[in-house]
Amino acid sequence: MRIAVIGGGIAGLATAAGIARAGAAVEVFERSSRGAAPGAGISLFPNSRAAMRTLGLLDGYDRRPHGPAPGTRTVMRRPNGKVALAFPAWARPKVRMFHRNDLREFLLDSCRGVPIHWDTAVALDDDGDTVRPAVLTTADGRQSAWDLVVAADGVRSATRGFLSLDPGLRYAGYTAWRGVTRGPADTGGMAGEDWGSRQRFGTVPLADGRVYWFAVASKQVGRTAAAEGLGSEKEAAEQEFASWYPAARALIAGTDAAEVLRHDLYDLARPLHVFHRGRVALAGDAAHAMTPDLGQGAGCGLEDAAALTSLLRGTAGPDADVGGLLERYSRRRAPKAARLLRASRLMGRLAQRERKAWRPGS
């Protein structure tokens, strides 16, 4: 069976690595260049580890250095730094914290032998049926035919629209700044997410002592530092969190301005009930873009990759029933992803509430 994956993000690369191990001939098309993943971290929960096992990547995943260090306490602090909630320290923390580029390099290593076409945007031209293959076209008009296409083309997936499955996106009402400190930083042995009033701050220690932080604030959509007359998004984050506790401000201050990212947060307006049409499957954010409030977006994409891998194992021959396989994929994945999308939205609403008593300084 010949399989194309659109998108070389976490979901696309994991899918390619898994289904190559399941015996299919797979190629990846990525519109960006090889480069490096942006300077941010990512937390992966135990469901990601279970997915890695199904993908055949568990040994490498377990060997990969990650944060937090054993014994780190997970806490929730108030904006004044007072610990409001503390969880017992794990000898072996269940959540693994990576720099996004480390995770990407691991997935790229796992794709060794899989052709990855960088700088190659593709568009779906035909989703195929029981007799017709699916067809992709590159920007310069080259067409190729595939037994199966996995579209892992992200939150703004054009494929989702082509398949008439797009419910549109919903702005969540809040924006996130993210950064990784330029060198090791002291977190006092703590990690976690702090809630204020319509603001949150997260501290995520990485394997090499650097710290990934995120800072979330309720804002109108489309606001930028430049529009507010500020020199950089780092300055905007510093201004927004100016009255938070010193260790939070020190993490922002310890990050190079060019490395601070800002994104308004979106999810799918409604969860999808099916993830496929014809010979095309959606995976990752293309299928279930959710807000990051439960830290499950990438984990869910890894679960999609694992589901496709296990369905293809032993059935990746030229006569495979692709339609039946994708029916099973949708049934296996869509209900759980819908629950997580709704739960993330709910968590975001709760976390971003106005809490006068939790304003900085109170």
Ligand X SMILES: Cc1cc2nc3c(=O)[nH]c(=O)nc-3n(C[C@H](O)[C@H](O)[C@H](O)COP(=O)(O)OP(=O)(O)OC[C@H]3O[C@@H](n4cnc5c(N)ncnc54)[C@H](O)[C@@H]3O)c2cc1C
Asked if 9 is part of the footprint of ligand X (rule: CB under 6 A), the reply reads yes
Asked if 295 is part of the footprint of ligand X (rule: CB under 6 A), the reply reads yes
> How far is Cα 40 from Cα 48, in angstroms, rounded to an integer?
18
> How far is Cα 135 from Cα 162, in angstroms, rounded to an integer?
12
Binding-site member from 2, 21, 23, 31 for ligand X (CB under 6 A)? 31
Q: What's the closest the beta carbon of residue 310 comes to ligand X, in angstroms?
A: 19
Asked if 7 is part of the footprint of ligand X (rule: CB under 6 A), the reply reads yes
Asked if 178 is part of the footprint of ligand X (rule: CB under 6 A), the reply reads yes
> How far is Cα 193 from Cα 179, in angstroms, rounded to an integer?
15
Instruction: Considering only the stretches 39-47, 86-94, 140-148, 227-235, report the one whose residues sit in contact with ligand X under the rule CB under 6 A.
Output: 39-47
Asked if 43 is part of the footprint of ligand X (rule: CB under 6 A), the reply reads yes
- Which backbone phi and psi does 122 adopt, to 5 degrees? -130, 155
If you search the block for the tokens 């690369």, which residue do you land on?
13
Q: What's the closest the beta carbon of residue 94 comes to ligand X, in angstroms?
A: 14
Asked if 192 is part of the footprint of ligand X (rule: CB under 6 A), the reply reads no
> How far is Cα 332 from Cα 349, in angstroms, rounded to an integer?
28
232-244: burial string, b at 16+ Cβ within 10 Å, e else: ebbbbbbebbeeb
- Closer residue to ligand X (CB): 20 or 152: 152
- Please spell the DSSP secondary structure of 197-245, one letter per residue: SSEEEEEEE-TTS-EEEEEEEE--TT--TGGGT-S-HHHHHHHHTTTS-
Binding-site member from 52, 75, 152, 190 for ligand X (CB under 6 A)? 152
Q: What's the closest the beta carbon of residue 211 comes to ligand X, in angstroms?
A: 14
Of 196, 211, 298, 195, nearest in space to 259 by CA = 211
Asked if 299 is part of the footprint of ligand X (rule: CB under 6 A), the reply reads yes
List interacting residues with ligand X (CB under 6 A): 6-12, 29-32, 42-44, 121-123, 152-154, 158, 176, 178, 214, 263, 265, 284-285, 292, 295-299, 301
